[in-house]
Structure 1
Amino acid sequence: MSNGLDYRHQVAALNQWFGTDLGEMVLAQESLVLQELAKTLFGYYLLELGLLCRPLDYMQFSPIRSRVRAGPCHDEHSELVTLPEQLPLAGDTIDAVVLPHTLDFVVDPRQVLREVERILIPEGRVIITGFNPYSLWGLWRLMPGSSRHLPWKGHFIPYARLHDWLSLLGFDVEQTQTLLFRPPWKKAFLKQRFPRLDRMGQRFWPWSAGVYVIVAVKRVSTLTPVRPRWRLERKLGKVAVQPLANCSQGKLEK
């Protein structure tokens, strides 16, 4: 998938899955986390960049008034139709970006992160939700036939790898939250014992969560100019420097 035509099939299939009972439950659990995180976002512009052709219930919790939804979706909820890898936005203009499972399903997730780094202001924040491959959700991808269907054929990037990518781009990871330790079955969400499994997972094995939420801040280092060494050496070259041994010898001869 390298163009808008390729994205159309991807977007349609992905939104069809998130419209199922299981997909709705995933978004509902994630929205609770995003609502709390949205309260900590400040500035002038909040951008949601994704492939979900539906508004998620979290934006209104942010103090940021100017909120824009962008992506390849042609619907009444998207203010900006664009490829995630090629954002028609000026650099250093956006205060916060939310990527709801965007990196799981775009063509080039690293290019999307580069674009996010470019448009974010210094100290701007990015919030990323993604599926964890090292979980019951990741294991489900090994089931016969699963790898041919969404969401199971997505990238499913380990959050430790995302930490590395963000670090290389100059981000500091502020926090990583994990959720959904129950298996990816509809009945698992309805049975009472599985919420208890979620609580135990948060405490004892957070690395095995089905979904993670990462918050990272864009850092811009301030460098102090250092005078080139060659200038110092050029000045010293004009001065006759006498070895210490000779200086001592000259004094004794006098």
Structure 2
Amino acid sequence: MSIQGFEDWLKTPAGQYVLNWEQKQHDLLVADIFGFNAVQLSLPSHDFLRANRMPLRFRCDDGRYDGFSEVRSDLHYLPFAANSIDLVVMPHTLEFDANPHQVLREVERILVPEGHVIVTGFNPFSLWGAKRKLSRRQALPPWRGAYLSVPRLKDWFSLLGFEMQAGAFGCYAPAVTQEKWLRRFQFMDAAGDRWWPIAGAVYIVQAIKRQHGMRLITPTWSDRMARAKALVTVTQKVDQ
């Protein structure tokens, strides 16, 4: 499983179809999430945090492919302190990683209590998921990888103390490669939301890190700003 080549696929008509939907969904979700530090894991050429207003926003990847990134790091051992990040977005990060459980555990470690995580992925229970099963080209993107269903992801979240907060499915057209056919199947997007809402090719889910029985006392604004400045120094050292 590797995310290599996925950036190139996103430039194709089918990739643009998926990317445009996911970018709009991210813009809607991250706009109303507040804090000081936000991190995007993988796909650094695309800014899924652009609508967020936190003062410090980082794009982090492991260096396996070309793309703008402020931080290069092993995603299984992120260079951020525990309880230091308010928001983490993971565009297709888990399904293309050999050890997604460890990545998610790291995300839980670095998130503050009540911090948010947003995950996008391909839905195995969709027309695209069916094509992946039948395709002889599973070594090529976007079929390479382990598609995670939303119920399975919800179970993983629950084990780590996350609570699912919001989610959506999208891209109901078949997995065709030509733009003219994607346009012809556009009617399925409107119909899909109404008639088969869980069968979209891709999904986006938002979860919150809960710590039950713990009273959350947030630091003062000056304390959070000092911690945010320290975080900048740490990430700059890692990147050098």
> Per the shorter chain, which TM-score range?
0.7 to 0.9
Q: Which of 136, 140, 157 matches 1:149?
A: 140
Q: Percent identity?
A: 37
Give the Cα–Cα distance (whole angstroms) in 1 for the partners of residues 102 and 180 of structure 2.
35
SS at structure 1 position matched to 2:116? strand
Alignment coverage as a number of residue pairs: 214
Q: After superposition, where does 1:90-101 map in structure 2 within 5 Å?
A: 90-101=81-92
- 2:47 maps to 1:42: no
Give the equivalent residue in structure 2 for 1:202: 193
Partner residue, 1:242: none
Bigger Cα Rg: 1
Report the Cα offset of residue 222 of structure 1: 1.7
TM-score (norm 1): 0.78
Measure the CA separation in 2 of the matches of 1:208 and 1:202. Answer: 9
Match in the other structure for 2:24: 32
Deviations 1:128-159 (A, max 9, x none): 00000010110111234222222212111001
Deviations 1:46-102 (A, max 9, x none): 10012x24123x422112121000111365621110121111211000000000010
Distance 1:147 1:12, change over 3 A: closer
CA RMSD of aligned residues (A): 2.0
Other structure's SS at 1:16 match: helix
Matching of residues 179-194 of structure 1 within 5 Å: 179-187=170-178, 191-194=182-185
For residue 189 of structure 1, report the CA deviation from its aligned partner.
6.7
CA contact (8 A) 2:14 2:182 kept: no
Say which structure is richer in helix. 1
**Retained in 2: the 8 A contact 1:182–1:189?**
no
Matched, 1:220 2:211: yes
Q: Which residue of 2 aligns with 1:178?
A: 169
Can you give the 5+ residue segments of structure 1 that lack an aligned partner in the other structure? 2-9, 225-254
Pick aligned residue for 2:57 from 67, 72, 85: 67
In the other structure, the counterpart of 2:68 is 77
Identify if the C-alpha distance between structure 1 residues 76 and 136 changes in structure 2 by more than 3 Å, giving closer, same or farther.
closer
CA change 1:192–1:147 in 2 (3 A) is closer
Deviating 4+ runs (over 6 angstroms): none
| TM-score (normalised: structure 2) | 0.83
The equivalent of 1:166 in structure 2 is: 157
Structure 2 segments unaligned to the other structure (5+ residues): 216-240
More displaced stretch, 69-78 vs 170-179? 69-78
**1:19 match:** 11
Structure scoring higher RCO (CA < 8 A, sep ≥ 6) equals 2
